[in-house]
Amino acid sequence: MIIRPATRGDVDELVPLWLSFIASGAYPILEGATDASIRQLLLGLFAVEDRCCLRVVEDRTGEIVGGLAFVEDPQPMTGALYADDVCWGVAPAYRSTLAGPQLFAAMEAWAQARGLRFVRVGAPHRPHDPEASSFRRFYEARGFHAIETTYVKELR
């Protein structure tokens, strides 16, 4: 596996990969995402890449099999800088490999090098779903602690 900074040239491969993550149903709030909206998000992140960690993981053939985007933000009440999870994931066929852990470690190294105080990540809330539990185990094994639950209400 090769972890490297993402480039604008990777957008065409990242868009369908991230749309497939959304299609898995883990985040119902994202169900309206389209090719155009994901493309706009990625290009917008490149516009602020001086405060953004954009990484991809390639398999041995050079195919992009995962990616992540974290943005450096100040905590609104304290001003402490942290890395905020925009999106990240690895293709299902690579989830039992080191692709995810290596990709995540690259982001943490970026955050530490920038002197950020925290990293904030999200995980799907599906208490009886083993895949959702695997997110929690992944984060907890790396020293993350759940500190709040986010509630969403659709207004229609």
In whole angstroms, what is the distance from residue 114 CA to residue 72 CA?
9
Residue-level pLDDT at 71: 92
The predicted-structure confidence for 36-58, as pLDDT tens digits, reads as follows: 988 998 999 988 888 999 999 99
Per-residue DSSP letter, 121: -
The predicted-structure confidence for 80-121, as pLDDT tens digits, reads as follows: 999 998 888 888 888 888 888 899 899 999 999 999 989 988
Prediction pTM value: 0.82
CA distance readout (Å), 139 to 45, 46, 145, 146: 24, 26, 8, 9
* Whole-number average pLDDT of the chain: 85
In order of their start, the domains of the chain are 2-141 (3.40.630.30)
Residues 6 or more apart whose CB falls under 8 angstroms from that of 153 comprise none
Structure tokens at 30: 């994202």
Residue-level pLDDT at 132: 61
Residue-level pLDDT at 94: 84
